[in-house]
Structure 1
């Protein structure tokens, strides 16, 4: 299959491909999504096949306007409307109980709930509008690997497997959206996946408690939202997390074991360890925002480095704000393994 690169001037052509059941990757402010019509089961089945994604992993439905959600959800609560008014378009996914048979079961993973998001990217909003149907949009990569934050990343993983890629440049945030479960109208809202919209922001808007579910699903359990599996976002090269105070010991340990090491970190740590490492992916600055934006690109770049690395060491951040989203992804990429000095 030939994979075509679409630009701003060819959105209508990309939309026509989607309307006919083809697959087109699209940019968002978070990561690139692999688009297919959410109303065409055969198209959605192709998404699972192309990604190598487990079929019990539900998909997020992307809409171009909040009003589109009403076709699938009865009686949106005042809380839901408030969140949509405040954060849409933006990196917030909301899970609702849906009308029976309003979406193909292949989209929902067989659940009675579905996740919805309105992405904050003008090209993709135009794409959804011109396709005249909502789109599923899981990350446009091989399942389980680092998510794509540029059209080049999508091309690397999926060229020859999908009809096209809408090139919208590098993504602005770099980690997937916050997923908030509102499927129980009488219950407390629960974050199933942290993202750029933090727990504190949601609580400020809602003026009520928001819970954070740290539960990771087992192999035989159906996840309610994407990204809840134990190991995810992982490159082929082993990843290990390093606390700020442990870098000298971690570098000494790696040298003693003759490991060729790559490092993902901000400028302060990168400069301190540069002479002792084989390759470095340096975040723009020392902030968690820069780390989140660069994490997936960094994992990909070091994994594919000509230095043939044995190990990737990654900087950690406090789990607050977008730092919580960064650490959520990094922990899964590292299979929850930290460097320990007595290793």
Structure 2
């Protein structure tokens, strides 16, 4: 049975004990809920993959209570230190060469010579990480390829009975995953995944940031790069200019398209920050309305391609991507 823990000193102490003993605890950050396991224990990391049905070639982000703690596990260049000072705690993940004495398991890093690290924002999650005192690997707390959770109830919908506990820290403020920046070559910073920190903000400190030429170029280094990802069960149609009577509408702005069976507006005022925070909840809500309205698919109004809009588009492109074939069951 999965225990729901309050974000109190007692709840945090219990969650830290479970993690140190090799259990799994989901917890809220400013981005989404993460499914945490002790990154130094390969068995705990394996449990994360098992609970999520996650592809094993996708490395995990290790979470820390401070930049100093994170930089004991990686070789931090001056640019990494500058970015950490500006954006940590916050929704930025840095991919850096692993330190020779790194204690993060090879399974968490997928055997790579690099490691993805970040310091999340939030009093409760930082208190939890301090209490654990070890790197905590934490992908999003959902089954692999499904909609990422921005509330404790979302975690329980998918992972009850598969994990030990959820530390309920309330709704996530940002609502989509961290930006992932590859600094393994500090002279050529490379964006592996857009996210909660806009690229424009990073470029004020980094200068121009490169992009991988293909998905395959990014996939080995970065979490969240599977093509069909964040997918509801219904097919998703992007950049819709009209909507059918059996479609659910993911709207944006003050003028939702008429004619949808059911509508979720990411932001009636056109705020990209509000849209990001409501994205996964909206996809989850519309997907849940399929039996009520006999929906055949979801239509998505255009999202502006700047700032957080780039990250929102990235998630929606993955939600709309062709789905991999289901494996045959034994």
Shared fold (TM-score greater than 0.5)? yes
- Correspondence for 2:266: 283
- Correspondence for 2:321: 335
CA deviation after TM superposition for structure 1 residue 336, in Å = 7.9
- For residues 25 and 178 of structure 1, the distance between their equivalents in structure 2, rounded to whole angstroms, comes to 20
- For residues 214 and 120 of structure 2, the distance between their equivalents in structure 1, rounded to whole angstroms, comes to 26
Contact 1:3-1:159 at 8 Å conserved across structures = yes
- For residues 215 and 175 of structure 1, the distance between their equivalents in structure 2, rounded to whole angstroms, comes to 22
- Correspondence for 2:65: 64
Contact 1:261-1:311 at 8 Å conserved across structures = yes
CA-to-aligned-CA distance 1:194-232 (integer Å, 9 cap, x gap)? 0121221111123x22123352129xx952101112111
Alignment map for 1:115-130 (pairs within 5 Å): 115-130=116-131
Residue 234, structure 1, aligned to residue 234, structure 2: no
- For residues 279 and 98 of structure 1, the distance between their equivalents in structure 2, rounded to whole angstroms, comes to 48
Residue 209, structure 1, aligned to residue 208, structure 2: yes
Contact 1:97-1:184 at 8 Å conserved across structures = no
- Correspondence for 1:83: 83
Which residue of the other structure, out of 299, 310, 318, is the alignment partner of 1:313? 299
CA-to-aligned-CA distance 1:19-55 (integer Å, 9 cap, x gap)? 0000000101110000000111000000000000011
CA-to-aligned-CA distance 1:234-271 (integer Å, 9 cap, x gap)? 0001111125xxx2xx32xx35xxxx11001135232x
- For residues 291 and 227 of structure 1, the distance between their equivalents in structure 2, rounded to whole angstroms, comes to 19
The structure with the largest alpha-carbon Rg is: 1
Alignment map for 1:96-107 (pairs within 5 Å): 96-100=96-100, 102=102, 103-107=104-108
CA deviation after TM superposition for structure 1 residue 99, in Å = 2.5
Task: Report the secondary structure of 2:177's partner residue.
Answer: coil
- Correspondence for 1:298: 282
- Correspondence for 2:252: 266
Task: Report the secondary structure of 2:293's partner residue.
Answer: coil
Q: 1:210 to 1:116 in 2, by over 3 A?
A: same
Which residue of the other structure, out of 198, 206, 225, is the alignment partner of 2:222? 225
- For residues 153 and 267 of structure 2, the distance between their equivalents in structure 1, rounded to whole angstroms, comes to 20
Scaled by the length of structure 1, what TM-score is found?
A: 0.88
Aligned length: 317
Q: Which structure 1 segments of 5+ residues have no match?
A: 338-343
Scaled by the length of structure 2, what TM-score is found?
A: 0.92
Task: Report the secondary structure of 1:157's partner residue.
Answer: helix
Task: Report the secondary structure of 2:310's partner residue.
Answer: helix
CA deviation after TM superposition for structure 1 residue 284, in Å = 3.4
CA deviation after TM superposition for structure 1 residue 144, in Å = 0.3
